[in-house]
Chain A
Amino acid sequence: GEDVEQSLFLSVREGDSSVINCTYTDSSSTYLYWYKQEPGAGLQLLTYIFSNMDMKQDQRLTVLLNKKDKHLSLRIADTQTGDSAIYFCAERNDYKLSFGAGTTVTVRA
């Protein structure tokens, strides 16, 4: 079965970089995702990475994938107050997504 784990909380100072980590167990995952959920809102697709890649950069976001260790990370450069949210990583197998518990990121001034 699928099992995705994330640390639950991250506090970061405004302007610093945030790094959110995630581990997964399903080696047949095809894509891995990062979603953002702000209070009272739905899930916003932030970025994704195909399982045969090891890095993807999209503006302030950098995704690193270590397939051997089944480790995924999301780095947010120059973290802003608007980045405060819950971040979910998810792995996809046959179009089904398995989610981690979510990391609550708090940005402090």
Chain B
Amino acid sequence: SAVISQKPSRDICQRGTSLTIQCQVDSQVTMMFWYRQQPGQSLTLIATANQGSEATYESGFVIDKFPISRPNLTFSTLTVSNMSPEDSSIYLCSVARPGTESSYEQYFGPGTRLTVT
């Protein structure tokens, strides 16, 4: 399995500000993903972040709003920019290791609970 940590675990932010969420994995992984879980809802994929390439965003999510960095194989950040109350969600990072024996396993971090006031 992979041990994934996220910082911060929760935050309360004012509208119009930005928050950067960090995701750290205990081992090298090729693929990292950012998901959003709105209150009482299921998870929705925001983007895929592979090291050495630009992040790939899903429909409805854009780089200006959710810029992502992936500087190495164990770390990624997601920034939620110009926040509004609709951005209040849990943001989770997830990892996968394609091409390995455990390629079918996808693990999630503990999540960052964001409240925008």
Spell out A's residues near B (CB within 8 Å). 30-31, 33, 35, 41-45, 48, 50, 88, 90, 92, 95-102
Closest Cβ of chain A to B71, distance in Å, is 21
Indicate if B45 sits at the interface (CB-CB under 8 A): yes
Interface hit among B13-21, B61-69, B73-81, B102-110:
B102-110
The answer on a CB contact under 8 Å between B42 and A99 is yes
Give the number of chain B interface residues (Cβ < 8 Å). Answer: 22
- Are A42 and B42 neighbours in the complex by a CB distance under 8 Å? no
Establish whether residues B45 and A88, one from each chain, have CB atoms under 8 Å apart when the complex forms.
no
Q: Contacts A41-B110, A42-B92, A42-B111: A97 and B104 contacting too (C-beta < 8 A)?
A: no
User: Taking CB as reference atom, which chain A residue is nearest B108?
Assistant: A43
Q: Are B105 and A48 in contact (CB under 8 A)?
A: yes
Interface string of B1-40 (1 = CB under 8 A from A): 1000000000000000000000000000001010100000
Distance, CA A92 to CA B51, complexed state (A)? 21
Is A99's CB under 8 angstroms from B104's CB? no
Query: Assuming the A-B contacts A42-B110, A42-B111, A88-B43, are A95 and B98 also in contact, with contact meaning beta carbons closer than 8 angstroms in the complex?
Result: yes
Q: Taking CB as reference atom, which chain B residue is nearest A102?
A: B42
Which of B1, B45, B109, B111 is A97 in contact with, Cβ under 8 Å? B45
With a CB–CB cut-off of 8 A, which chain B residues contact A95? Answer: 31, 33, 48, 96, 98, 106
Given contacts A42-B108, A96-B48, 4 further A-B contacts (CB under 8 A): A45-B106, A96-B33, A97-B106, A99-B44
Question: Closest CB of chain A to B62's CB: distance in Å?
Answer: 18
Tell yes or no: B41 within 8 A of A by CB: yes
Closest CB-CB distance, B19 to chain A, in whole Å?
A: 18
Contact among B42, B44, B106 with A88 in the assembled complex (CB-CB below 8 Å): B42
